[in-house]
Amino acid sequence: MQPLGAKTPSIHLTITPHKNGLNNLSPSNHTTEAWVTNQWEELLSHAPIGIAERFIALGGDSKKAKVFIHRVALRYEYQLTTATVFQFPTIQQLARIIDKKQSFNDDDVLVPLQPDGNRPPFFLIHTVGGCPFWGYAEIVRHLDPDQPVYGFRHTPAQSQEQCSDIRQMAALYVRRLRAFLPTGPYLIGGYCFGGNIAYEMARLLDEQGQPAHLVALLNSSPPNGSYDHMSYTPRTALLFAGNLAGWLWTFAQSTWTFKYQYARWRILSLREKTNALLSRPSESSGEAYAHLIDFNLFPQALWPIVRNHIQSILDYDPKAYSGHVTLIRTRTHCFRCSFDRHYGWQELAHGGVDLHVIPGTHENMMDEPYVRHLALALTQALTSAVQPR
C-alpha cells in the first residue's frame, strides 16, 4: 500500500492583512462585489477579474480559498465554508451570499468542485481526512471546462462506524451517487485512500447492474495484497536501486517547503518507531500511524477521523471486480513493495488494468508541474470511458 502521508489539508494559515488595509475597510466604502474582486485580484495575482469568472479557472485552490474565507470573516463577521466557495465560484454569487449571510446544510457528502458543463459528471472520492478540495481542485483547473466534477467528502453527520469501514463508506457514497444520478455513465475515481473507496463503489454499482464506465485510481494500491510484499532477489535489488534513484532525483527537484515537511515527517515517524520499541510515551504526535501519515498536516480536531480512515484501509480486504480499472501512477514506487507496474490490481480487476505512468512522486503528483501530466492522463481516460464501445 502506498504511504498515506500526502495531499492532506492544513488549515493553520498565517494571514497577512491585505496590502490596501484589510482591517481598515468598512462595508460602506465599497460594494461587496468590488471588495471580493479586490481580494481575488490580490490572492490570484490576476487582474482585471470579471464578476462572472470562476475561482478555479483563475487559479484558485483550497489554500487560497481558506485565506479568502478568513478575510471574509474579519470584514463581514460571516463564516464561509470551502464547499461554498467552490459551489458558488463567481464574485457575483459569493457577494450575494455574503450580503445575505446565508447558511447552508453542511451534511451533504457530495459537493461540487466544478458543476458546469455538458459532459457526464466525474466523481472524486476524498482521501484520508475527508477533504475533497485539497489536490482535486488543482486537477480540476487543468481539465476541460466542459467537464463537471463533484467530490465526496467526510461530514460530521457520518458515524464512527461509517468512517472506520471502507465498505460502509462506499455504500453511503453509492446511495448518494445514485440519488444524484440514477443511471450512468458512472465515472468515479480517487487518490490513494480515495481510490480504494472508488474501487469498492465500482463493485457495489456492478452488483446493482450499473457498472462504472471509469474507475480511476490515482497512485492508489490495494491494501493487504501482493504489492505490499517485497521478495529479496537480485532482480528486486536492482529495481529497488533504480526506484530509489528516481525518487531522489524527483525529490531534488521539489520545493524547499516540500523537502522540509517531508524530512520533518520522516524524523518524527522514526522517533515514533523508536519510542514504540523502547515502550516510551511519544513526545511528538502521539499517533501509532505516524509512519504512514504526517498528522501535523491536519488540525488536531481531525486526528480521530484520520485514525479511523487509516485503520479502515489497514482492515480492508478488497474482493474481485468483474470490470476494468484505470491506474494513473507515478514512475516511482514506495520503497518496500513488489515493484509490480500495476500495483497488484490485475489480480482483482478481471476486466483488466489501463495503465498511465506520469512524472512525479506519490507525495507531489497533484502539485505543479506534475498535476498537468495527471490531468492529461485523466482527460484521456474520461474521453475513452464515454466513447461508444
More confident residue, 69 or 244: 69
Looking at the predicted structure, is the pLDDT value of residue 23 above 90? no
pLDDT at 13: 30
Residue 268's nearest CA partner among 285, 280, 256, 288 is 285
Backbone angles phi, psi at 278, to 5 degrees: -95, 0
| CA end-to-end span of the chain | 33
Domains and their CATH numbers in the chain: 22-100 (1.10.1200.10), 118-230+316-386 (3.40.50.1820)
Q: How many CB atoms lie within 10 A of CB 304?
A: 11
Looking at the predicted structure, is the pLDDT value of residue 290 above 70? no
CB 76, CB 97: distance < 8 Å: no
Looking at the predicted structure, is the pLDDT value of residue 11 above 70? no
Q: Are strands 122-125 and 149-152 parallel, antiparallel or unpaired?
A: parallel
Q: Which residue shows C-alpha cell 493487504?
A: 224
Cell digits of residue 146: 466542459
pLDDT at 334: 77
Residue 116's nearest CA partner among 182, 52, 70, 173 is 52
pLDDT at 389: 61
Residues 6+ apart with CB under 8 A from 234: none
Looking at the predicted structure, is the pLDDT value of residue 242 above 50? yes
The C-alpha atoms of residue 89 and residue 375 are separated, in whole angstroms, by 21
pLDDT at 376: 96
The C-alpha atoms of residue 200 and residue 173 are separated, in whole angstroms, by 10
Q: Which residue shows C-alpha cell 501509532?
A: 288
Phi-psi region of 232 (alpha: psi -120 to 50; beta: other; left: phi over 0): beta
pLDDT at 208: 95
Cell digits of residue 358: 506520469
pLDDT at 161: 74
Per-residue burial over 31-58, b if 16 or more Cβ lie within 10 Å, else e, is ebbebbbbbbebbbeeeebeeebbbbeb
Residue 356's nearest CA partner among 339, 375, 369 is 375
CB 299, CB 129: distance < 8 Å: no
Handedness of CA 382, 374, 152, 81 (dihedral sign): negative
pLDDT at 367: 85
pLDDT band, very low/low/confident/very high, at 30 (cuts 50, 70, 90): low
pLDDT at 350: 95
Looking at the predicted structure, is the pLDDT value of residue 20 above 80? no
Amino acid at 323: G
The C-alpha atoms of residue 337 and residue 372 are separated, in whole angstroms, by 27
Mean pLDDT of the chain: 81
pLDDT band, very low/low/confident/very high, at 26 (cuts 50, 70, 90): very low
Q: Are strands 187-191 and 325-330 parallel, antiparallel or unpaired?
A: unpaired
Q: What is the arithmetic mean of pLDDT over 359-379?
A: 90
3-state SS, residue 230 = coil
pLDDT band, very low/low/confident/very high, at 277 (cuts 50, 70, 90): low
187-191 sheet: strands from edge to edge:
110-114, 149-152, 122-125, 187-191, 214-218, 325-330, 353-358
pLDDT at 275: 64
Q: Are strands 122-125 and 110-114 parallel, antiparallel or unpaired?
A: unpaired
Q: Which residue shows C-alpha cell 460530521?
A: 156
Give the model confidence (pLDDT) of 65-106 as tens digits: 889 989 999 988 888 887 788 778 888 889 988 988 877 666
Give the model confidence (pLDDT) of 227-241 as tens digits: 777 777 777 778 777
Looking at the predicted structure, is the pLDDT value of residue 303 above 50? yes
Give the model confidence (pLDDT) of 105-158 as tens digits: 667 899 888 888 899 999 999 998 888 877 898 899 899 989 999 999 988 777
pLDDT band, very low/low/confident/very high, at 358 (cuts 50, 70, 90): very high
Handedness of CA 216, 221, 223, 227 (dihedral sign): positive
Give the model confidence (pLDDT) of 187-214 as tens digits: 999 999 999 999 999 999 999 999 999 9
Residue 110's nearest CA partner among 56, 154, 148 is 154
3-state SS, residue 183 = coil
Looking at the predicted structure, is the pLDDT value of residue 295 above 80? no
Residues 6+ apart with CB under 8 A from 110: 123, 150, 151, 152, 153, 173, 176, 177, 180
